[in-house]
């Protein structure tokens, strides 16, 4: 009662029309920043924090590799054009087109820890690694989400909820982009390069890719080089550079179980040094130092982290292009 008599004597200085206008403006501003609704401030502290989590101070290399590419413009196509594309191709999942990678990484920073970096990087390979050059089918199209029941994806399926959480923070970004951005973010959070020149705008497939297209850990060097050449169009350098992903993570179901190497939380060249000394987790790893086609790269990377990082980043970008359809 006291309040109503007070408000009669001192009418509000904000007339109802002004208040309505203010809220209308807020709604408009929110719609205009539709790409990443969870984007917060423009500061870069997230970057430092995540590098620190890896317990690895590599600022010199970091700076050099950071220059590998410049930021993407985040150019967005009109909603009507997106709808037309999705309808004409019968794709299942809307994509926002190209994404502002720096802003996406801020969302990823909320969900990704060093503990799950390995499995996220592996997801990027398993989404893209179904590509078959001769038929032009499979590839980096987000179809991994339909392939979780496959034997080789067993550890991936039990961590898939992380992708769904990230997707919740990036609702307009396709699964294919989320998976690859998470893969790139995984190498950064474990002390590797921060790569912002990642192409995005991949459109998701609506069905699973054909099965039995991923390489096996029992394979020898000939089988690996044939597969990477025939199916992906890659050479020995890309095979060896990409295999260095086994620098991080843990083997969860494939013997020998446990950390991939003794610095498995750091994206470093310990993996290659182990191979040079006759070690390695799986036969497919050991094979790389036993073949004259691949061993020169193993030796080079064992002593040159900058070279490996640069070639790994190039190869990961290439694998992320396999079979990808981009909305521009």
Are 111 and 104 in contact by the 8 Å Cβ rule? The answer is no
In the complex, the smallest distance separating the C-beta of residue 281 from ligand HEM, rounded to whole angstroms, is 7
How many angstroms separate the CA atoms of 314 and 115, rounded?
Answer: 25
Q: Does 224 bind ligand HEM (CB under 6 A)?
A: yes
Which part of the chain contacts ligand HEM (CB under 6 A), choosing from 36-44, 100-108, 215-223, 229-237?
215-223
In the complex, the smallest distance separating the C-beta of residue 146 from ligand HEM, rounded to whole angstroms, is 20
Q: Which of residues 162-191 bind ligand HEM (CB under 6 A)?
A: none
Of 87, 120, 118, 111, nearest to 170 by C-alpha is 111
When the beta carbons of 94 and 183 are compared against ligand HEM, the nearer one is: 183
326 φ/ψ angles, rounded to the nearest 5 degrees? -105, 140
Of 100, 102, 101, 152, nearest to 123 by C-alpha is 152
When the beta carbons of 105 and 312 are compared against ligand HEM, the nearer one is: 312
In the complex, the smallest distance separating the C-beta of residue 286 from ligand HEM, rounded to whole angstroms, is 11
How many angstroms separate the CA atoms of 230 and 234, rounded?
Answer: 8
When the beta carbons of 54 and 121 are compared against ligand HEM, the nearer one is: 121
When the beta carbons of 231 and 260 are compared against ligand HEM, the nearer one is: 260
Tell the residue number behind the tokens 């991080």, with chain if given: 248
Name the DSSP letter for residue 250.
E
Query: Site map for ligand HEM, 270-289, x if CB under 6 A?
Result: ------------x-x-----
Helices 101-111 and 175-189: crossing angle in degrees, nearest 10, is 70
Query: Site map for ligand HEM, 238-267, x if CB under 6 A?
Result: ----xx-xx-xxxxxxx-----x-------
When the beta carbons of 105 and 234 are compared against ligand HEM, the nearer one is: 234
Cα 167 to Cα 171, 172, 223: the distances in Å are 5, 8, 36
In the complex, the smallest distance separating the C-beta of residue 186 from ligand HEM, rounded to whole angstroms, is 7
Task: Choose, from 126, 188, 227, 246, the residue flagged as catalytic.
Answer: 126
226-238 CB burial, b ≥16 within 10 A, e <16: ebbeebbebbbbb
Q: Which of residues 82-141 bind ligand HEM (CB under 6 A)?
A: 118-119, 121-122, 125
In the complex, the smallest distance separating the C-beta of residue 317 from ligand HEM, rounded to whole angstroms, is 11
User: 132 forms bridges with which residues in the sheet?
Assistant: 137
Are 196 and 185 in contact by the 8 Å Cβ rule? The answer is no
Active site residue 246: no
For ligand HEM, the binding residue among 68, 216, 276, 310 (CB under 6 A) is: 216
How many angstroms separate the CA atoms of 33 and 192, rounded?
Answer: 30
- Report, as residue numbers or ranges, the catalytic residues: 126
Judged by the rule CB under 6 A, the positions of this chain that interact with ligand HEM are: 118-119, 121-122, 125, 155, 215-217, 224, 242-243, 245-246, 248-254, 260, 282, 284, 316
């Amino acid at each position: 009662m006291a309040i109503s008599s007070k408000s009669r004597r001192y009418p509000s200085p904000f007339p109802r029309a002004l208040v309505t206008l203010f809220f209308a403006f807020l709604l408009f501003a929110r719609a205009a920043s539709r790409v990443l609704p969870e984007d917060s401030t423009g500061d870069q502290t997230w970057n430092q924090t995540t590098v620190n989590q890896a317990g690895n101070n590599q600022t010199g290399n970091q700076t050099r590799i950071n220059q590998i590419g410049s930021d993407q413009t985040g150019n967005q196509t009109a909603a009507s054009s997106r709808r037309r594309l999705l309808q004409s191709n019968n794709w299942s999942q809307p994509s926002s087109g190209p994404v502002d990678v720096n802003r996406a990484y801020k969302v990823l920073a909320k969900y990704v820890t060093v503990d799950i970096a390995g499995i996220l990087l592996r997801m990027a390979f398993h989404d893209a690694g179904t590509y078959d050059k001769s038929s032009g089918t499979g590839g980096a199209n987000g179809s991994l989400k339909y392939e979780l029941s496959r034997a080789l994806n067993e550890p991936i399926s039990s961590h898939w909820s992380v992708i769904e959480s990230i997707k919740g923070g990036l609702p307009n970004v396709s699964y294919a982009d989320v998976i690859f951005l998470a893969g790139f973010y995984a190498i950064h959070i474990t002390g590797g390069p921060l790569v912002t020149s990642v192409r995005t705008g991949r459109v998701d497939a609506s069905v699973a890719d054909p099965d039995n297209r991923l390489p096996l850990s029992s394979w020898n060097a000939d089988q690996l080089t044939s597969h990477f050449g025939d199916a992906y169009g890659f050479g020995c350098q890309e095979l060896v550079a990409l295999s260095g992903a086994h620098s991080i993570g843990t083997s969860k179901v494939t013997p020998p179980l446990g950390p991939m190497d003794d610095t498995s939380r750091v994206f470093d060249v310990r993996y290659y040094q182990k191979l040079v000394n006759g070690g390695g987790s799986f036969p497919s790893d050991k094979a790389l130092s036993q073949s004259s086609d691949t061993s020169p790269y193993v030796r080079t990377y064992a002593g040159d982290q900058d070279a490996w990082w640069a070639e790994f980043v190039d190869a990961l970008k290439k694998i992320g292009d396999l079979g990808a359809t981009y909305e521009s």
